[in-house]
Every structure is written in structure tokens, then in C-alpha cells.
Structure 1
Amino acid sequence: MFGALLFIIATSVLPCQGVSDGSYMLTMSRYMEVGKPQKICMTLYNQTLVDVYYTMQSGNKRYFFQIQKYRKGKGGCIDVTVPAYAAGTRNRLSISIVEPTGKFIDRSHDFVPSSPLRVTYIHSDKPIYKPGQLVRFRIMTVDSDLMPDLGKISLVRVITPTDVIMKQWRDIDNDKGIVTLEFQLAAEPLLGDWVILWRRAVIREEPRLK
């Protein structure tokens, strides 16, 4: 007679032996992202009534504790937000499952949460430009759910092949999720790769134009 607690993290399955009849399955994302609500779900098998104690901590600092009472064998999910200071450090999720008989299962899982995931696309209207042409480009940032990031862009610079700042914009509103900018090339511009530098807070990217 035994139960089992399964941790499923993306495609990984970690079985653990329990202490009584029935079993449990815990699912969570392999890539926990700080500052973003994420779900941890418990599924019950051959169990009708259990209390589950969830604890999450970074080092010795506990930042999450919740007691969930599951009835009628349905299980359920909780929402967890990992704080920003926990990014890049080893965190621990601890689970205590208490059954009606008083027997319990204690299990834990270590993980390293990531900083907010953002991908920025800078797209120009042409791959190569000739002297005197107007250069148009767009900047769009999406998060891990492919939703646009509406945060203000603090700096955009156009830099020549000799590292001279040719054009600059500051504190650009991005309430629509996409920013369109343009600048005019001179009749005799410097030839080579030009750089569009984009910055939001400490995030920075440098796509190149020719």
C-alpha cells in the first residue's frame, strides 16, 4: 500500500513514493519567470480529501506559503509569483500533503527562475539603403506569452560605422506596443554597417543596417 507524488516540470517526470493508498501529480513550468503569475497544479488519483501545504523560498527567505484543501478528488491549481530578487538563484518548492488519516508526504523541488523574458524585433523597410534614401524602421517587444510589451523605450540611437551618433530619440511612448521611427540619409553617407541601438532600462540591443 503506497501513494505516489509525481512532479511534472514541462516534459520531466519525477516520481516519489508516498505512504498510503492513492497518488498525486504536481505540474509546474520548467521555466519559472519572476514577476509573472504562474500556475502550479495538483491532480489527485484515488484520493478524495487532502490538505496541501505549499512553500516557496529563495535561500533562507520564504516568499510564498499557502494551504489548499482539496475535496472530492478534484485537485486544483494555485497562482504563484516569484519575486524579482529570486531570479538566477536556486529556489525551492516544498510540498506537504496531509491525508485524513494524519499520514503525510513531504517532497521538494529545486529550480532557478529566470528574469522576465522579452524578445525585441527591429525591422527596417529595406535590407540595404542607397545615399539620400529615407530609412524607416519599427521596434516591437513581446513577452514570453507573445504579448506586446507596452513599456516606454528610454533610448533609440542610430550610430554610423565610425561610432558617431547620427540620430537619437529619448523616452518614446509605446502605448500601442509598436514604435515606428525614421531618419534621412545624407547624399554621401558613410558606407558600411550602421547600428540601431535600442534600450529599455538596462536591456539593450544593437541590430545593424547596411
Structure 2
Amino acid sequence: PRFFAGNPVNDDVFNPSSIPPHWNFTDLGDQGYSVPWIGVLKMRSDNHSLASGPECGIDLVLGANGAWGTDKASILDIEIGNQLPQVFEDRIAVAEIVEPGNDIKTADLLDMEAFLKSIVSPAPHDFDEVKAEAGWKLFYGKANCVACHSTPEGTGEGYFDNIVENPPQGLLAIGIKTPGLRGLHHTAPYFHDGSAATLLDVMKRYTSPDIPQVPSDLSENELLELVEYMHSL
């Protein structure tokens, strides 16, 4: 939605971003996401975020892929924790004059939060148990996927701008938050810009020398085992 004509918060950078799945938010409290709305949406200095800082601040108001509060969270007067550049503040002010009454109320956010928490990930894809177990061992061992995907849902702390060949630009240049991994077989294409058509393409990209977290010497068979493990989630 950030590219629709007249969007007041368009950063004028072609920076496509696919919307990640909104499921498995029920255990966020167990993962330590106990900060309030404004905290959930903070930038790099606060790793308790579910997506890139700018994406939360911009897309939340557009109904796209922002982050949401938890059972322990409180709704503050300001729903967005990121300070937008003044040029965007000015555009929003003009948009409100031209088409008033589009501000999102606290009650709407609470309704949206309740709806998102009701969504659970789909059942695992058909998978080969032997290969999936081998992939699980690689995930937590040689492949070192757990360095970034460290929580039970496969999320983790930190923002990354080196995962895709063309790093995110404009308001997403801060980096992309580590996404969850459940139900991945339903969410192709992959990465924030949809640049990987299949899970195997994802694994091949991770073996690139410019992604130091993952060794570049994984064999084709090991990559396929990792894919099979993804199918089991």
C-alpha cells in the first residue's frame, strides 16, 4: 500500500516489501515481548520489535506489516514509536485536511490485535522425516541458522540489511527484522522483497560469502535437508 497514488508517507524509493504472515502471535509474552506499543515499534536500539523499525512506524497506519502489542502491553497515547521525518509529518497533515477522519483509534488497534492473536500457523507441509531431522541438526549446528532465528517461532533479535543482493533502501535501510519460520511453504516468494522464489533459493542465497553468519560450503544435499526441515515447521 505504500505505493498507492498520493500516499503521504511514500519515501519515493522503489523498495518492495512483501507482507509477512501474521500468525503465532499468541506466545509473544513468553518470548519477552512485554514492552508497550511504543516500545514494540522502536528502532535498532531496542530489539523488542517484530519487523523493521520504519516498516512498523509507516505500515501500521496503512494496515500492513507492522508489529503489535502483547497481553502485558499497554496502549499509549501515541501508537507509533518512530519519529517520522518532518516531510512525512507534513504530508500526513495535508492528507488529513484533504480527506479527514482516517485516523486509527485505540479501539481499532485492540480489535486488530485480538484478530491477529486468533490466527495460528497452518499444519506442516508433507516432509521426509529423515531429511527433516538432518536439516534440524544443520539448523542448530553447521549451518548456524539459529544465530539469527533463535526463538521457538524462529524470530530473533537484530536487524539485517545484507540478506538480499540489493539491500533495502529508503526508510527500510535500517534493516529487516528476523521473521518467523512456521508455515513457510505457504508464503512464497521469500525475503522482504520477494527475490527468492523457492525455499531452496533462500538456502542458496544464505551461502553467499557476504552473509557471514552462514558457512558458504554447505552442499546441495545439505541445503535440501534444510528445506525439508522448513517444511516440517
Output the TM-score relative to the length of structure 2.
Answer: 0.22
Instruction: Say which one has the larger Rg.
Output: 1
| Structure with the larger helix share | 2
Give the number of the structure with larger relative contact order, counting CA–CA contacts within 8 Å between residues 6 or more apart: 2
